[in-house]
Amino acid sequence: MTTSTDSIERKILLKASRSRVWRALSDAEEFGDWFGVDFKGETMLAGRHVRGRVTYPGYEHLPFEVFIERMEPERLLSWRWHPAALDPAVDYSTEPTTLVVFRLEEAEGGVLLTVVESGLDAIPLARRATVFRLNTSGWDEQMLNIEKHVARA
């Protein structure tokens, strides 16, 4: 059952081709560039894990891992992760994951990207709150990093 606090949906219009958006989502290294993870040398394949490290300043010691569920080129990409896995000493592998689904649709002037993250109700509330606060504080700095990266490219 999906309750009002179990999932979240975001939509964004990207003025780029479908193939460009798909590459930014499915090429592990490119994905890492905007998401804030070092996925150097990794490849995304359905049914496989992708492992790397967080690159938010101050959180570089944290491992980062997603399990790729589905890959439908230029249409859909989905993965599962432990969104609150912030303590390197804890084994989160047996804990519930959330499902993140990216959907690409043709739209006027580009691609309409929809992201849905579901399964949040299964994540302990205390952990949800802590983690998201930490991540949010690192985002602004990351935005600047990306701006610099893009300006150089």
In the complex, which residues of this chain contact another protein (CB under 8 A)? Answer: 5, 8, 10, 12, 14-16, 20-21, 24-25, 30, 33-36, 83, 113, 115, 117, 120-121, 125, 128-129, 132-133, 135-136, 139-140, 142-143, 146-147, 150, 153
Complex with another protein: residue 47 or 131, whichever CB lies closer: 131
Q: How far apart are CA 46 and CA 29, in angstroms?
A: 16
Nearer to another protein, 75 or 132 (CB): 132
Q: How far is the CB of 93 from another protein (least distance, A)?
A: 22
Q: How many CA atoms lie within 13 A of 102 on its CB side?
A: 24
Identify the bridge partners of residue 11 per DSSP, sorted by sequence position. Answer: 114
Residue 4 vs 93, nearer CB to another protein: 4
Q: Is 61 exposed, middle or buried (0-12, 13-18, 19+ CB in 10 A)?
A: exposed
Structure tokens at 16: 């780029």
